[in-house]
Amino acid sequence: MLETRPTSIARIAVLTLLAAGALSAAAGLAVWRAGWYNIGATTPHLGIVYKVLEQAMRYSVQHHASKVKVPPLGEAEALRGAAVYRDNCAECHGGPGVAPSTPGLAMQPAPGPLVDASMRWQSRELYWITRHGVKMSGMPAWEFHLSEADTWAAVAFIARLPDMSAQEYKRLTALAPKEGKAQ
Amino acid sequence: MKAPRVFRAASLAAACLAGASLLTACDSGPKPPPGVTGDPALGKLALTQYACQSCHKIPGVIGSDTFVGRPLEGIGKRPFIAGDLLNNQPNLMRWIQDPQSVQPNTAMPDLGVSEKDARNISAYLLTLD
């Protein structure tokens, strides 16, 4: 008697856990197969889904970019970056006083401005995001489409955006030669 | 006999109340101030299609915590917008559609918002208090 009791309690506990697991798996399968989650881009994610995905991206980028070495980035890189940004980034992200083009406006999640990107991300992280893109977000990988130097130039320019006025943005992107896509 | 009947009546009343409050909760969202035209619910959808939420924190709209533009909480109750522009629907629509005409140096871009969408968006924003 004294020995059988704990075993039966353990068995009940294990069976309960298994049943709960099977039940939630079945519920998840039903939602998945029935197509109840609205994948349309006019419906926002559930708040919790949005937050969880966004935070997962943040952790992933921090983890994967931790070993990236940042080269010295100066005035020349930033100016070169103005052209790279204008020709490759502004279409979806816009710039100070400049709207993204139509696709950039109506994406879900919205690509959003990069005006404050360097306040949210380290330079090595901005480089990593640009080079590798972000799955399921619409952010493409530029590794095979932008040279190493141009990618860093874009990062150097993005780092200047927080205190760049609309006029300054217009001036710098107009100054920059029309060659953005090197390679 | 009497007590159960009273009890039944009370529970019926409670059920009616719960049903009524559910109905009113489902009956469209908050109303904009009088004189405001447009459909706030359509405006709430339209503003996500111009990515307003990517720069502004907007109550009721899901997005990142962003402070590129001013958070729009309570915009319905603000006396002024865009610095010194009186807050009413025509001015808000003008600001949404052509911010440079109000402040030539503003970083808020012209997003090509149509008249109809600007009306609905402003109707939604003016419900925010």
Whole-number mean pLDDT of chain B? 86
Given a cut of 70, is residue B15 above it in pLDDT? no
B21 interface with A at CB cutoff 8 Å: no
| CATH number listed for the domain at residues B31-125 | 1.10.760.10
A98 interface with B at CB cutoff 8 Å: yes
What mean pLDDT do residues B26-37 have?
A: 77
> Which residues of A, range 44-83, sit inside 8 Å of B by Cβ?
44-47, 50, 54
Given a cut of 80, is residue B119 above it in pLDDT? yes
Residues A112, A50 contacting (CB under 8 angstroms):
no
- Report d(CA B81, CA A37) in Å as an integer: 38
Residues A154, A95 contacting (CB under 8 angstroms):
no
Of the pLDDT bands very low, low, confident and very high (cuts 50, 70, 90), residue B1 is: very low
User: For chain A, which residues make up each domain, given as ranges?
Assistant: 1-37, 52-175
Of the pLDDT bands very low, low, confident and very high (cuts 50, 70, 90), residue A4 is: low
What mean pLDDT do residues A101-127 have?
A: 96
> Which residues of A, range 114-153, sit inside 8 Å of B by Cβ?
115-116
What mean pLDDT do residues A20-48 have?
A: 94
Q: Tokens 């907007």 — which residue?
A: B58
CATH class entry, domain A52-175: mainly alpha
Cα of A68 to nearest chain B Cα, Å: 26
For an interface test with A, the pick among B55, B61, B62 (most A C-beta atoms closer than 10 Å) comes out as: B62
B22 interface with A at CB cutoff 8 Å: no
Cα of B10 to nearest chain A Cα, Å: 36
Whole-number mean pLDDT of chain A? 93
Q: What is the pLDDT of residue B30?
A: 78
Predicted ipTM? 0.84
B25 interface with A at CB cutoff 8 Å: no
Given a cut of 50, is residue B120 above it in pLDDT? yes
Given a cut of 60, is residue A183 above it in pLDDT? no
- Report d(CA A98, CA A63) in Å as an integer: 32
Q: What is the pLDDT of residue A66?
A: 97
- Of A25-39, B1-15, B37-51, B91-105, the one with minimum mean pLDDT is B1-15
What mean pLDDT do residues B46-69 have?
A: 96
B99: closest chain A residue by CA: A97
User: For chain B, which residues make up each domain, given as ranges?
Assistant: 31-125
- What is the three-class DSSP state of A140? coil
Say yes or no for a CB contact (<8 Å) between A104 and B51: yes
Say yes or no for a CB contact (<8 Å) between A54 and B66: no
- Report d(CA A33, CA A23) in Å as an integer: 15
Residue B80: φ, ψ to 5°: -130, 155
Q: What is the CA radius of gyration of chain A?
A: 24
Q: What is the pLDDT of residue B26?
A: 47
Chain A residues closer than 8 Å to B108 by CB: 97
